[in-house]
Structure 1
Amino acid sequence: MPIGVFAQRSGLTPSALRFYADSGLLPPAEVDPVTGYRHYSTEQVARATVLRRLREIAMPLAGVEAVLAAEGEDAVRLLDEHVAKVVGDAAEARRKAAVIKSALGGDVPGPTIAVLKGPVFADAVEQVLTATAREASMPVLAGLRIEVSQEAVTLTATDRYRLATRTLVPAEPPRRAWSGTVDGDGLRAAVAEIRRSPVVRLEAVPHGVWFRMPGREHQYCGVLTEEFPDHRLLLASLGEATTRATLPKDLFLRALEEHPGDRVALHITPERVEVGDHAPIPATATGRPLRIWFGLTTLYPAVSTAIGPDVMLDLRGDDQPVTVRSADRGDLTTLIMPVKAGRETRTPHDDAPRSDHGRHRQSRRSGPGR
């Protein structure tokens, strides 16, 4: 096929194809000796597509050549090494940017909004960040909402199908109320340093938050400007639980891990919980028996991040948000949306929540059950 057709098939521009031909990465199958026109074969489309994708992740030409020449595990290893370098370079760029901000006056101390124990704050951030999502239409879902009051510091995240919130007791009484949605990627990069500090002081500045740690490198995270979903309205509007079940976390997780499908049915009775076809799990349940379905990728993280040996489920029917929390500690709470029974699903994002009420249809835009 001529170079123009091949460019359309491969996603590479004609000029890029000429460059890769001259570099030896993708020579044409034939070159007309009279006109000099280049022609490519159908078999070269796959190689060209891989080449384009490797360049899209900023792999240098030498790396591209090595990956294309390698096979199987060697190619995967080279790709992993490149990604690790890109991630490391990004983290180094973030650190250098913080130094530059300081030199430009961007590291001017801001008012202290909270003082927390570093390891406790780091654990809470990692737990709650599991409920974030990357959506181009709602970039705020990739952030972590931090709310500081006179009594507590609350962390919240949601992917619209799951909402996680954790309440922390500050090491010192907060000096002022504050709220903001902090960039999730920045927090993930800062957590390792925060975890190693006995105390972390949060300072609010115009476009972000500084995490100050004695004797350690301070960390900066930007604040997202988009409005965060009104999770407080959701929590306040939840109805009373009609079924409550408490069961061992480790047995529950094991049953979910061994479940073969991408959605799972829970059958809750007074003395046990059945997870699909798995052996029944001993449980303590009150209220009416209930059968309810969940997407596995929504239910599993909600259970795995619970604190303590037992998990408590507060259920309000098979079409209402379910509260998942630790039976012995209530400072980490997760809400999850059930899915419809009776049909296959691919992921919870492909499966509509049970929506007999209009407000649950709206939840697909702004939060679980909203």
Structure 2
Amino acid sequence: MRGIGEVSRASGLGVSALRFYDRAGVLVPAEVDPVTGYRRYGEEQILAARLVAGLRRVGMPVADIGRAVAELADPRAVRKLLDEHLRRLEDGLADARRELSRLHHLLDDEENTMTRISLPAAALAAALDAVRFAACADPALPMINSILLETGADGVLTVAATDRFRLAVAEAAATVAGPPVRVAAPLPFIDELRPLLTGDVTLILDDASLVAETAGRRVEGRPIEAGWPDHRRLVTLDSPGARRVTVDGSELRSVLRAATTVTHEHEGTRFEVAILTIDPAGELRTADPDAWAADADAHVAVNREFLLQALDAGGPGQLVLELDGPIKPLAVRGTAGFSILMPVRH
């Protein structure tokens, strides 16, 4: 048997702490002298005392410390309690980081350095859905593994995505406070935010930080520093020679899936090509590979899967396709936004 002083030295628990845990029923001495009140502990209680000391240092509640001591004969049960407490600590640290970050933002001069964009979450979700399909996932091109978020002086949030072979752009009306901003939000930030969007959303953006607040949730990130291409320069869709045709998106999807295609290879990737033309009556038609080979200048050919994705992203109902010859991009305009697809050369 060991006295309270010996147990204190062996475990790292102070004498007053041992008395406290005795009164709490967590670590009760094996013997207590009825005359002097002197406490004595069994050898097996040294391990329990050391466990209590460690759990006390990491802030475990007394009730849970008592459970751990009671389960000491079953290490698996004790480990489960340790893991549960660790998760609580990690969650608390994440909450503290978010709150401290918010306080840092409060201390910043947001009027001069940051831009706040407020809009309905549904509007932002629709804009992101209209462009996400075109985002690049190639790690060799980090500058476009992102969604561009851009504001001007017109109270509009523009979002854009590209993988070099296609570009998608959408807009959403917003309340913008602060200077114009143009930042590339990394895809993990976008993909974390998208499922949370409900009610209203506020984006707080500058060159060094991304913050989104929606329905009491907060998502934070950092912009990609590499330069994002100028999508306005890429969108050259006002050519006098461009021909526009209105189509039903659902019908065109069905036609494309049934049409005869040709397999093409570019940079080691094989894909099916959709071949389109406008007939003399002004109707959009799909053409077979033989017609494309015979008269390439009369057709525009694009990656069929890319076109199907662009039609889906264009939203329901009528879409407008713009064709400007075999070497100009094909444009798809819908209610949710527009996209352009680079042509495939015969």
Question: Shorter-chain-normalised TM-score: which range?
Answer: 0.5 to 0.7
The SS at the match of 1:320 is coil
Aligned to 2:193: 190
Structure 1 residue 108 corresponds to structure 2 residue 104: yes
Aligned 8 A contact 1:323 1:335 in 2: yes
Match of 1:297 in 2: 305
Listed as ranges, the gaps of 5+ residues in structure 1 are: 1-93, 278-288, 342-370
Q: 126, 143, 152: which one pairs with 1:140? A: 143
Deviations 1:238-286 (A, max 9, x none): 6334321111111001122334641121121124322246xxxxxxxxx
Distance between the aligned counterparts of 1:225 and 1:96, measured in 2?
A: 31
Distance 1:106 1:174, change over 3 A: closer
The 5 Å alignment of 1:48-63 reads none
Q: What is the rounded CA distance, in whole Å, between the counterparts of 2:96 and 2:216 in structure 1?
A: 17
Q: Shift of residue 167 of structure 1?
A: 1.3
Instruction: String of CA shifts for 1:173-216, please: whole Å, max 9, x gaps.
Output: 4433111000112211111112x2x2111112553211122x42
TM-score by length of 2: 0.60
Kept after mapping to 1: 8 A contact 2:300/2:323: no
**Secondary structure of the structure 1 residue equivalent to 2:228:** coil
Task: Give secondary structure in 2 for the equivalent of 1:218.
Answer: strand
| Aligned: 1:272 with 2:271 | no
2:184 equivalent in structure 1 = 181
Deviations 1:116-136 (A, max 9, x none): 110110121122111111223
Query: Is 1:340 aligned to 2:321, yes or no?
Result: no
Structure 2: segments with no counterpart, 5+ residues: 1-89, 262-271, 289-296
1:146 and 1:179 in contact (8 A); partners too: yes
Distance 1:257 1:174, change over 3 A: farther
Counterparts in 2 of 1:96 and 1:222: CA distance versus 1, 3 Å: farther
Distance 1:205 1:186, change over 3 A: same
Letter in 2 for 1:339: V
Please show how residues 78-117 of structure 1 align to structure 2 within 5 Å. 99=95, 101-102=97-98, 105=101, 108-109=104-105, 111-117=114-120
Inter-CA distance 125–303: structure 2 relative to 1 (3 Å threshold): same
The equivalent position to 1:307 in structure 2, one of 302, 315, 329, is 315
What is the CA deviation profile of residues 25-76 of structure 1, one whole-angstrom value per residue up to 9, with x for unaligned ones?
Answer: xxxxxxxxxxxxxxxxxxxxxxxxxxxxxxxxxxxxxxxxxxxxxxxxxxxx
User: Structure 2 CA distance, aligned partners of 1:135 and 1:235?
Assistant: 22
Q: Which residue of structure 1 aligns with residue 294 of structure 2?
A: none
Would the alpha carbon gap of residues 208 and 218 (structure 1) be closer, same or farther in structure 2, given more than 3 Å must change? same
Q: Does 1:320 align with 2:331?
A: no
* Conservation of the 8 A alpha-carbon contact between 1:113 and 1:148: no
Please point out which of 149, 154, 158 is paired with 2:152. 149
Aligned partners of 2:92 and 2:223: how far apart in 1? Answer: 19
The SS at the match of 2:232 is: helix
Compare CA radii of gyration and give the structure with the larger one: 2
How many residues end up aligned between the 2 structures?
Answer: 231
